[in-house]
Amino acid sequence: MEQRLAQATAELIKELYDEEPATDKIIIQKTRNEFKGDFTIVTFPIARFSKKSPEQTANELGEKLAERLEAIAGFNVIKGFLNLELSNDFWLDFVKNERNNADFGLAKDLEVEVPVVIEYSSPNTNKPLHLGHVRNNLIGYSIANILEADGYNTAKVNLVNDRGIHICKSMLAWQKWGEGETPEQAGMKGDHLIGKYYVMFDMAYKQQVNEMTQQGKSEEEAKKNAPLLLEAQELLKKWEAGDNETVALWRKMNDWAYKGFDKTYKRLGVDFDKIYYESDTYLLGRNIVREGLEKGILFKKEDGSVWADFSEEGLDEKLLLRSDGTSVYMTQDLGTAVLRYSDYNPHEMIYVVGNEQIYHFDVLSRLLKKLGYQWYGKVKHLSYGMVELPEGKMKSREGTVVDADDLMEEMITRAKETTQELGKIEGLTAEQAEKLYHTIGMGALKYFILKVDPQKNMTFNPEESIDLNGNTGPFIQYAHARIKSVMRKAKEKGASDEFTTIPSIHPREKVILKRLYDFRIVVKQASKNYSPALIANYAYELVREFNQFYQEVSILSAETPEQVGFRLSLSELTAGVIRNAMGLLGIEVPERM
């Protein structure tokens, strides 16, 4: 409708004032709640064409638009704002046309075929996924869904950080104290077992540092020269040199981690189109750095380390290869970016990575430019804020992180307890009840995280997230189940959702109609801003309005069969939009609850 209004307004400006403004320069807004109307045209910019006051211009355009477009039932002018009210027939046709459209609000055809590559998750193979990874995965997966709903082709990718000093620490600890322990023997997921040895290394390392400082060493010297750290560094050199025994152990322990990650991803409900491994991409990055050194773009210091100089751009020098020839994260990200561009020739490459890496990705883009890659501007860092628990921050080395698997299990348990307390499982089989607990628990977790603007820090409160009242996933899920219950009762009573016309639209119905109509607009806004929070809070506002309607207006006991049919259709369309909106967040909605 906005496009029709813009086009008609542009035509009238040409006819009335002999000017041809571009339709995208005509400002059309939703009418503010305190005024009567559905869409508002701002006439201040148009007054320069009419040579009349904004009020006169608005009245003149309003009269002509009402004559030209049947959908306009009336208009009013407030200063330079032309408020247009759409007819009942427009809204009735909207409901008729969309009530059975399972894809309402979602693009059916690709508008941008060149893929947008979205990297998320990026785990380290020395520890299991934790709460921070949960936020990362949920944001990345949801953004991919939203971009696809807006007509973009997407490629979801993961970069596994499977090499470096961190994995060597876990490997060394397992060599020293593992006694051949396997995940099967320990009764643990493989990623959990490796995480256990990472924590053991850190505890032993800190003890060594403490002993060395007591012997008179400075803390900095002790941290750099603790025997365990030196052994881990030596293990890294052996790995990069291709030592058979070291590589074999690395493969075995990484395989444990991969299998553990896969179970977590499946339960979390996220997936990937392609997985990259740092152990592969760092080699390409290292070769690119060496070529840059040969061309004089990069420089080498006396100790043999290789650097990029960004001082002319107001930044400092950036290390790319250490003096012993080993790689750093920037080397790996350089190789990954080049390989990924070669694989996809993408429209854009989005990195979903925490906001502590803003500088890193700024440098990556600058480094690509310095090395002559003309597509450097396609690198986009989508930073997100830290996620904490009410009791504070998490530290993986100290074993105080909130494990993703434990968190999901806790949420499902909380959902089970809440559902049973409220008596919501009557008539369900044991299998159906377990599925419902999972749906509610995971919905609570995902929604609570995704409703927050990605760039903001947040505190995850498990107890608050499961509440059936307020801005939570279960609150929205329950509204969908309620509508489905109404539809089942309507079928039992033989009520039809067919209608031709109704004398008037109830104010509560009108509010819902406007919300539903906005869904396509919200999807586009969420896509443009890479913000699942816009979808989440839209779903909440829609449900809140529907609940008000449900409390004040009878559906199955409406005065006429036509009204019953309209309200059933309106309810069905609302359920469909709830389902589609929550689906973009990776959240299922139950039929019964």
φ, ψ at 84 (rounded to 5°): -105, 135
pLDDT at 109: 85
275, 157 contact by CB (below 8 A): yes
Quick one: which of 430, 423, 388 has its CA closest to 407?
388
Q: Could you give the angle at which helices 507-517 and 532-552 cross, rounded to 10 degrees?
A: 160
**Mind listing the pLDDT tens digit for each residue in 462-483?**
889 998 888 999 999 999 999 9
pTM over 0.75: yes
The band of 421, judged by pLDDT with boundaries at 50, 70 and 90, is confident
CATH 3.30.70.80 describes domain 120-388: no
DSSP 18-57: S----GGGS-EEEPPTTSS-SEEEE-TTTHHHHTS-HHHH
Instruction: Return the minimum-mean-pLDDT range out of 14-23, 162-171, 334-343, 509-518.
Output: 14-23
pLDDT digits (tens, 9 = 90+) for 69-120: 999 999 999 988 999 999 999 999 999 999 999 999 999 888 888 999 999 9
DSSP single-letter state for residue 184: H
pLDDT at residue 397 above 60?
Answer: no
Average per-residue pLDDT in the chain?
A: 93
> What is the band of 301 on the pLDDT scale with cuts at 50, 70, 90?
very high
pLDDT tens for each residue of 25-54: 799 998 988 899 999 999 999 998 999 999
Quick one: residue 542, left, alpha or beta (phi over 0 = left, psi -120 to 50 = alpha)? Answer: alpha
Question: Mean pLDDT across the stretch 278-300?
Answer: 94
Indicate the CATH number for domain 2-86. 3.30.1360.70
Confidence of residue 128 (pLDDT cuts 50, 70, 90): very high
Average pLDDT for residues 292-296, to the nearest whole number?
96
Nearest to 126 by CA among 49, 34, 194, 205: 194
The two domains 120-388 and 404-584 share their CATH topology (first three levels equal)? no
pLDDT, position 402:
84
pLDDT band per the 50, 70, 90 thresholds, residue 400: low
So what's the pLDDT on residue 579?
Answer: 98
pLDDT of 352 higher than 70: yes
**Predicted pLDDT of residue 425:** 80
pLDDT value, residue 395 = 45
Q: For position 515, what pLDDT does the model report?
A: 95
Q: What is the pLDDT of residue 399?
A: 46
Domain ranges of the chain: 2-86, 120-388, 404-584
Which pLDDT value is given to residue 120?
97
Percent of the chain at pLDDT > 90 equals 84
For residues 21 and 133, give the distance between their C-alpha atoms in angstroms, rounded to a whole number. Answer: 48
Look at the domain 404-584 and name its fold. Answer: Isoleucyl-tRNA Synthetase; Domain 1 (1.10.730)
Taking 90 as the threshold, does the pLDDT of residue 351 lie above it? yes
Written as one string, the DSSP assignment of 145-212 is HHHHHTTEEEEEEEEEB--SHHHHHHHHHHHHH-TT--HHHHTS-HHHHHHHHHHHHHHHHHHHHHHH
pLDDT digits (tens, 9 = 90+) for 257-269: 999 999 999 999 9
Q: Is 591 helix (H, G, I), strand (E, B) or coil?
A: coil
pLDDT band at 398, cuts 50/70/90?
very low
Q: What angle do CA 585, 588, 593 make, to 5 degrees?
A: 135
